[in-house]
Structure 1
Amino acid sequence: MTMRYRLLRILADGRFHSGQDLGSLLGISRAAVWKHLKAIRGMGLDVQAVRGRGYRLAEPLELLDEARIIAAISQPMRDRLSALELHTELGSTNDRLRQRAREGAAGGTACLAERQTAGRGRRGRRWVSPFGSNLYLSLLWRFPCGPAQLGGLSLAVGVALMRSLRSLGVEGAGLKWPNDLICRQGKLAGVLVEMAGESAGPCSAVIGVGLNVRMPPDAASAIDQPWVDLHRLSHRPLSRNQVAGQILNDLIEVLVRYEQEGLAVFLDEWRDHDLVAGRAVQLHLPDAVLAGRASGIDDSGALLVQVDGQPRRFASGEVSLRMTP
């Protein structure tokens, strides 16, 4: 654990700590404490300094904790979790697990980070990832089949996330095809599924979830679309570690069943949460923009849209969907 992170764990309680006390706890000089505090500010965290009282974070932080995450996972799903990696900082949790997959890591390996420096969503979009505020979580899963046989996997993942929100008492969110959780106020979460392997199998899938838990105002200014977080939606404070454990629990449960029975068993549940069906939409294709009205999904998970009065079918890899007023 780096000295900066050790200092941050002390400050995470949101209380004042004198420079002298911090130096004594860490075994460093007050000048070194100040140097690390500047570095923490450089991570986007608001460190307050008050003469005669010391230093504190403007808002307490709940840092990732393996024991608390594991405690939120049921025993049967815990048995399917091969490894749990917690990182202070990564470029991307998905990139980390893609590398671990190439190294032979077992399916059921999970990875979380306090901060991502190169977080991304679908089609290479940047995912804003401030330190210690939201969830950046990826799960590696191995399948005996090839990638082409895993159609609609991201939709099944969306069902898992909706189950997690329900278990956490969060209401008002729904699904935007193929892999976003949204509500009236804006985007709550996104899913990025990346596959690798032989066309005939086996293959691996790295399932990345970015979930806004408590977005800092400064970080929010870098987001180029409406957004919302759990803090605004929930009627009670939610633990990041509990949320992480609940998501891992429901993801693993859904993946086990998806591997056995495919997408069909999740279609009705996905349709119950579909916020796009019946809405006017724009479809951004590589070489065109089409306007139409969404009419749900077919049994393979493809989007159905009426374009100029004609039914059209779109797969998730080829199109970006936007709802219009």
Structure 2
Amino acid sequence: MSISDQLIRLLHLLADGRFHSGTELARALDVGRSAIWKHLQALDGLGVELVGVSGKGYKLQRPLQLLDRQHILDQLGPRAEALISELEIHPAIASTNGHLMELARHTPSVGRVCLAEYQTAGKGRRGRHWVSPFGHNVYLSVLWHYQTGPGAITGLSLALGVAVVRALSRAGVQEVGLKWPNDIYWRGRKLAGILIEVSGESSGPCHAVAGLGLNLYLPERQAEPIEQAWVDLRHIMGEEVMRQRNRLVALLLNEMLPVLADFEQRTLQDFIDDWRNFDCMRGKAVNVLIGEQAFAGIVRGIDDQGLLLLEDHAGRVRAFASGEVSFRPA
């Protein structure tokens, strides 16, 4: 799906939060009133909520800050700025991860960052659809190249989880926790998710694309298909967070890029203590699903390799390298 330049211009006009008449919008875009009406309908289809009042015009129901490349770059720290080779922002894209995975087939570039206002085929774990309404959340992916094989970056998603929690803390978000292996939670509800895709030789050079989806604001209508408990930053911090989107992206990159750049040398051991401090599953009753099998037990944390430790009803502790984990009702 493509999003026209006129639609983006319309959003920039509405982003001030004030009412604009249809005539005013048509004049600004040099189009007819019927074209403005079609654009407004298109925005509604993208998940952008509008308010229309007779005699006053149209306004956004909630604040909107479109992604701005220079605004993001201006707020990066020196290390992160040096690690970025390219930062691209797409009005609409199938998937930020998918885009960088395709680029990685043709170039071994490192530090390439892809952001999008809207994803038509955003992905979560196990190929699930990631709900991606326009302009309200963070859809971010980074491409990195490693000289050693995938085995050398085992645990990278756990380390990046620590980086995301640190960034959210710098943004003023409290009570954030990590749910193994790659989810960020707040008070028992999912706030963000990490997806890492790796391609390359089993014992030689490989590339990894690290994707992050973070909820700033999820309209109820758009969130209806989500089957698990979720939360967004607007609920946690209020409306003002919607005006901090570019700053939040910069904070995330400041924390994530050094982790990606240094992971071959630092490894998971440098992050394991922080991960355990942020662990929101320890001591909780869960089910671990692997294929058609379900394992019930109490989470006893993670071991030094990042494997999930689950204690069953008989007191036996088993380590899991993968699996779908869901909390069980008390």
TM norm structure 2: 0.93
- Please give the secondary structure, in 2, of the residue aligned with 1:79: helix
Kindly indicate whether residue 250 of structure 2 is the aligned counterpart of residue 256 of structure 1: no
One of 36, 49, 57 as aligned partner of 2:52 = 49
Segment of structure 1 superposing worse, 231-240 or 163-172: 231-240
Instruction: Tell me the residue number matched to 1:6.
Output: 9
Superposed CA offset, 1:30-86 (max 9, x none): 222222222222222223332322222222211111112112210121010111111
**What displacement does 1:2 show?**
1.8
Tell me how far apart the structure 2 counterparts of residues 73 and 57 of structure 1 sit (CA, whole Å): 29
Tell me how far apart the structure 1 counterparts of residues 94 and 151 of structure 2 sit (CA, whole Å): 28
One of 137, 141, 160 as aligned partner of 1:157 = 160
Tell me how far apart the structure 2 counterparts of residues 285 and 212 of structure 1 sit (CA, whole Å): 27
Aligned residues of 1:185 and 1:228 also touching (Cα < 8 A) = no
What does 1:285-300 correspond to in 2, within 5 Å? 285-300=290-305
Closer, same or farther: CA 260–25 of 1 in aligned 2, 3 Å: same
**What displacement does 1:256 show?**
2.5
Instruction: Tell me the residue number matched to 2:315.
Output: 309
Kindly indicate whether residue 277 of structure 2 is the aligned counterpart of residue 277 of structure 1: no
- Please give the secondary structure, in 1, of the residue aligned with 2:83: coil
Superposed CA offset, 1:193-243 (max 9, x none): 000011112111111101111222222223211111112223783301111
Aligned-residue CA RMSD in angstroms?
A: 1.6
What does 1:197-216 correspond to in 2, within 5 Å? 197-216=200-219
Tell me how far apart the structure 2 counterparts of residues 36 and 184 of structure 1 sit (CA, whole Å): 38
Residue type of the alignment partner of 1:110: V
One of 169, 172, 182 as aligned partner of 1:169 = 172
- Please give the secondary structure, in 2, of the residue aligned with 1:237: helix
What does 1:31-180 correspond to in 2, within 5 Å? 31-104=34-107, 106-180=109-183
Superposed CA offset, 1:132-167 (max 9, x none): 111111111111111122111110010100110111
Gap runs ≥5 in structure 2 = none
Kindly indicate whether residue 230 of structure 2 is the aligned counterpart of residue 224 of structure 1: no
**What displacement does 1:185 show?**
4.7
Tell me how far apart the structure 2 counterparts of residues 76 and 186 of structure 1 sit (CA, whole Å): 32
TM norm structure 1: 0.95
Gap runs ≥5 in structure 1 = none
One of 28, 31, 45 as aligned partner of 1:25 = 28
Tell me how far apart the structure 1 counterparts of residues 6 and 221 of structure 2 sit (CA, whole Å): 25
